[in-house]
Structure 1
Amino acid sequence: MCYYLPSKMSLFIYLVLLLFGFHAPIHSVTPYSSEGKVTTCHSQHNATLYKMSSRNADFAFNLYRKFTVETPDRNIFFSPVSISAALAMLSLGACSSTQTQILEALGFKLTDTPMAEIQQGFQHLICSLNSPKKELDLQMRNALFIGKQLKPLAKFLDDVKSLYETDVFSTDFSNVFVAQQQINSHVEKQTKGKVMGLIQDLKPNTIMVLVNYIHFKAQWANPFDPSKTEDGSSFLVDKNSTVLVPMMHQIEEYYHLIDTELNCTVLQMDYSENALALFVLPEEGQMERVEGVMSSKILKKWNHLLQKGWVNLFVPKFSISATYELRAILLKMGIQDAFADNANFPEIAEGNGVKLSNAAHKAVLDIVEKGTEDVAVPEVRFPDQPDITLVHPIIQFDRPFLLLILERNTKSILFLGKVMDPTKM
């Protein structure tokens, strides 16, 4: 039951949203329109999951548009599903307008969807994403570091464990060095050394840190032959500048379409199990228009229009990463009370003055022919390509494009980004 606790001290929840992802490459799968079957989480199925796929997608694109305003001419890359899940978990401890603002930013209204149904939907989402898969390494994890001086409520601890698969650690934030070392060591271990020194400026009055990350490693259904990669291909960053990038090349059957209304080309590249990537290539001068209308409805439209056919495909080989301080953006999305002195988080712990101080998000992804350095990929034999390719449409990602990576069963957007310059991390 929610009740108001007056704010007497500036105690902070320091929210870190850490995302980490990879790709690799092999096999063939059905298109995005195929119906996936959830096995492990079948008993938890509820109608909210289907509402969530649309609402989470719309939240993703709304957040994306905020990033374009902040960094209009730079690469954008983040994990919408990890941010959604972390905010939903935070709403468990909130009440009144603090809770309402968080949920409405995520696209939910308690008058339409009860809180219990929302939380059950996220529980099913996380369970589905974390279900073991033979050829897809996908894990979304949370870790909650709570100050020793805080007395967290048992119900909150039980809920974050059962609904969000969150590990909870008691932490002495009065010793900033030790607390940072504990958190950074946990993150380094969970990301297999890929993310080190995540937190450097922890404040002594911090009472809680939430770390969220995704580990994603998958194989392409149709791997690229490294010998066909051209090292010095041109990529048009804008009208006045060009960079040279390694360009992977392949002649293969892919689901693709040309959207004449939005003046863009859409190509679906499948992973070997339960995941796919959508590459969206706007015509020159049409990027802002495509960005402005992206929504769950547009994804559904493309899903119905995608047709399989032979393609002469060119995709840059690149790495992309981005780090964001989310406080200002979340404020603009309506999450204001959570950062204010009148923040209302009475369900988290006994005591007064709990508020959110900041939110950070980091994402990393590699697009390559076979996989990342730490992936053991079996030998792949590449059949000879036909010499005559004029009969196949050429799709060449040699100018800025959008990239979405989705999980099939939940239709969740794991990653969303824009590649303006593939030579910049």
Structure 2
Amino acid sequence: MTFLLLVLWFQAPLALSAEDGGPESYLPIVPSLDKFAGNLFAQVAAEDPNKNVFLSSINIASALVLLALGAKGPTHREIFEGLSLDSSASPDAIYKGFQRLQQVMDQDRPSVALSTTNACFVDKTLNLLQEYQEKLKLFRSEAIAVDFTKPEEAKDQINCYVEEKTRGMIKDFVDSVDPDTVLTIISIIHFKGTWVDVFDKKQTRFQDFYVDESTAVKVPMMSRTGSYPVAFLNNEGCKVVEVPYKGNFSAVFIIPDKGKMQDVEEAIGQGSLTTWMKKLRPMRIKLEIPKFSVSTLIDLKEVLEKLGIKTAFTNSADLSGIAESGELKVSKVVHKAEITVDEEGTEAAAVTGIQIMPTILPPVVRVDAPFLIFIIDTNTNVQLFTGRIRNPLE
């Protein structure tokens, strides 16, 4: 068996083709993506309850769809079932749905930087099937020749590509390359948003963030008083606040009550986020959230196996739709994601606002203990990123 290395790095949905399946063809796959996001996050979060988690489920789903393009039989079926995709729907309809979703998400939006890239690094010994190459073109995935028998050169080539496409944000992404690798699929997403209402840096103060009952760390806490969609979900044991970006994106913060993190995570895994979002109502509050930067690197092989994607990792894998040799299997699935939350926005400096303050002080929503964060494209209701921040300083 020859090894197929699938490297997943943040990525948005798949790219546009000339035949995108109609303006609303992506809608049937959105509930599936939402379910997959919940299942994936629940599995990753349960691996180590005391660590930060940050990932892009749409990135992982999209890269797996690239893999599914060349999969057949049980291997293909497991990928689709693991992604919670409708087994009764035709693969072509699903692929067109991903393509159309990419088109909608890739529309130019003011004050938002959203870039996506797909690439296949192909060993010189591997002859990709023409049909698979044509499918990759539909998803704007470029094929790049590489010699994996020279692992250091291959590693440098991949790392230089990732560094360039992420504008220098990610360096030395791949630390080693197995010389038996014949194909590496790289998927990238980079997002930078501008708050609709920016935070005044002068209001940022160092405050305690309670990592657990016995540990507190000092973090720069941003503060702003204004109107935000909020839900106080007493029965569910959490508060939810939506902080909008310009360009139809939002960061959704979920603040579990003391001792309720696991319950809230399990509810998220069962799809409660959509229900909770419907309960949001505009309210004037004093919002305090930490300024932080978090990076996580996740080996997803065991997680995906728990979601039912198993055969692709075995000698029984059928990836015969990729190359003439046909004897391929997935050896590794790695996902890296980073997030930075701060006061700034690209258009913030020129904005002046005058607000009339009520005489009654607004309620305070303070994020000073472990919390969940979701970045959502409100045009499509698709989750771009999902995270659990246990310690903003790690």
Shorter-chain TM-score range: over 0.9
Distance 1:85 1:12 in 2: 21
Contact 1:129/1:140, CA 8 A, preserved across alignment: no
Structure 1 position 170, deviation (Å): 1.6
Distance (whole Å) between structure 2 residues aligned to residue 376 and residue 47 of structure 1: 32
Any idea what SS the aligned residue of 1:277 has? strand
Match of 1:399, SS state, is coil
**Helix, strand or coil for the counterpart of 2:148?**
coil
Work out the CA distance in 2 between the residues paired with 1:320 and 1:20: 17
**Map of 1:378 onto structure 2:** 349
CA–CA distance in structure 2, aligned partners of residues 401 and 219 of structure 1: 21
Q: 2:66 maps to which residue? A: 89
Aligned partner of 1:122 in structure 2 is: 98
> Partners of 1:293 and 1:152 in 2: how far apart?
43
Paired position in structure 2 for 1:423: 393
| CA deviation after TM superposition for structure 1 residue 363, in Å | 0.5
Which residue in the other structure is 2:380 paired with? Answer: 410
Q: Which residue of 2 aligns with 1:66?
A: 43
**SS of the residue aligned with 2:160?**
helix
Amino acid at match of 1:412: V
Return the alpha-carbon distance in structure 1 between the equivalents of residues 159 and 292 of structure 2.
27
CA distance in structure 2 between the aligned counterparts of 1:229 and 1:386, rounded to whole angstroms: 20
User: Sequence identity of aligned pairs in percent?
Assistant: 30
Counterpart-to-counterpart distance in 1, 2:136 and 2:185:
11
* Structure with higher RCO (Cα < 8 A, 6+ apart): 1
Who is 2:3 aligned against? 12
Contact 1:20 1:363 in 2 (8 A): no
One-letter amino acid of the structure 1 residue matched with residue 158 of structure 2: I
Cα distance, 1:40 vs. partner?
11
Alpha-carbon shift at residue 301 of structure 1 (Å): 2.1
Give CA-to-partner distance per residue, 1:298-344, whole Å, 9 cap, x none: 23322332111211111111111100011111112111110101110
Q: Which moved more, 1:170-179 or 1:12-21?
A: 12-21
The alpha-carbon deviation at position 109 of structure 1 amounts to: 3.9
Residues 352-361 or 302-311, more deviating:
302-311
Contact 1:40-1:131 at 8 Å conserved across structures: no
Supply the AA of the counterpart residue of 1:393: P
Check 1:40–1:273 CA distance in 2 against 1; reply closer, same or farther (3 A cut): farther
The one-letter amino acid of 1:216's match is F
Instruction: Tell me, in whole angstroms, the C-alpha distance in 2 between the residues paired with 1:405 and 1:82.
Output: 13
Q: CA, structure 1 residues 155+352, in 2 after alignment: closer, same or farther (shift >3 Å)?
A: closer
2:132 matched to which residue of 1? 156
Q: Which residue of 2 aligns with 1:205?
A: 180
Aligned positions of 1:145-184 closer than 5 A: 145-162=121-138, 164-184=139-159
Contact 1:254 1:309 survives alignment (8 Å)? yes
The answer as to whether partners of 1:82 and 1:140 remain within 8 angstroms in 2 is no
Name the structure 2 match of 1:356: 330
Residue 45 of structure 1: how far off its partner (Å): 3.1
Cα distance change on mapping 1:74 and 1:345 into 2, 3 Å = same
- Per the TM alignment, residue 195 of structure 1 is displaced from its structure 2 partner at its CA by 1.0
Correspondences of 1:332-347 after superposition (within 5 Å): 332-347=306-321
- Give the superposition deviation at 1:11: 1.0
Q: Give the equivalent residue in structure 2 for 1:34.
A: none
After TM superposition, give the deviation of residue 121 of structure 1 in Å: 0.9
Contact 2:250 2:377 in 1 (8 A): yes
The one-letter code sitting in structure 2 at the alignment partner of 1:363 is A
Offset, 1:205? 1.2
Q: Is the 8 A contact 2:20 2:97 kept in 1?
A: no
Deviates more, 1:43-52 or 1:221-230: 43-52
| Distance in 2, Cα, partners of 1:239 & 1:306 | 29
Matches within 5 A, 1:46-65: 49-65=26-42
3-state DSSP of counterpart to 1:186: helix
Residue type of the alignment partner of 1:183: I
Query: Contact 1:87–1:102 at 8 Å: present in 2 too?
Result: yes
Retained in 2: the 8 A contact 1:136–1:274? no
Residue pair 1:277, 1:404 contacting (<8 A) in 2 also: yes
Q: Does 1:221 align with 2:190?
A: no
2:213 aligned with 1:239, yes or no? yes
Q: How many residues align?
A: 391
RMSD: 2.2
Aligned equivalents of 1:56, 1:260: Cα separation in 2: 28
**Are the structure 2 counterparts of residues 295 and 336 from structure 1 closer, same or farther at C-alpha, using a change threshold of 3 Å?**
closer
Contact 2:225 2:284 in 1 (8 A): yes
1:135 aligns with 2:111: yes
CA contact under 8 A between 2:57 and 2:384: conserved in structure 1? yes
Cα distance in 1, alignment partners of residues 180 and 375 from structure 2? 38
Structure-2 change in CA distance of 1:325 and 1:346 (3 Å): same
| C-alpha distance in 1 between matches for 2:283 and 2:102 | 34
TM-score normalized by the length of structure 1: 0.87
Contact 1:12 1:206 in 2 (8 A): yes
Contact (CA 8 Å) 1:20, 1:362: kept in 2 or not?
A: no
Q: Kindly tell me: are residues 203 and 385 of structure 1, through their superposed partners in 2, closer, same or farther at Cα, counting changes over 3 Å? A: farther
| Structure 2 residue identity aligned to 1:418 | R
Please report how far the alpha carbon of residue 130 of structure 1 lies from its aligned counterpart in structure 2 after TM superposition: 1.9
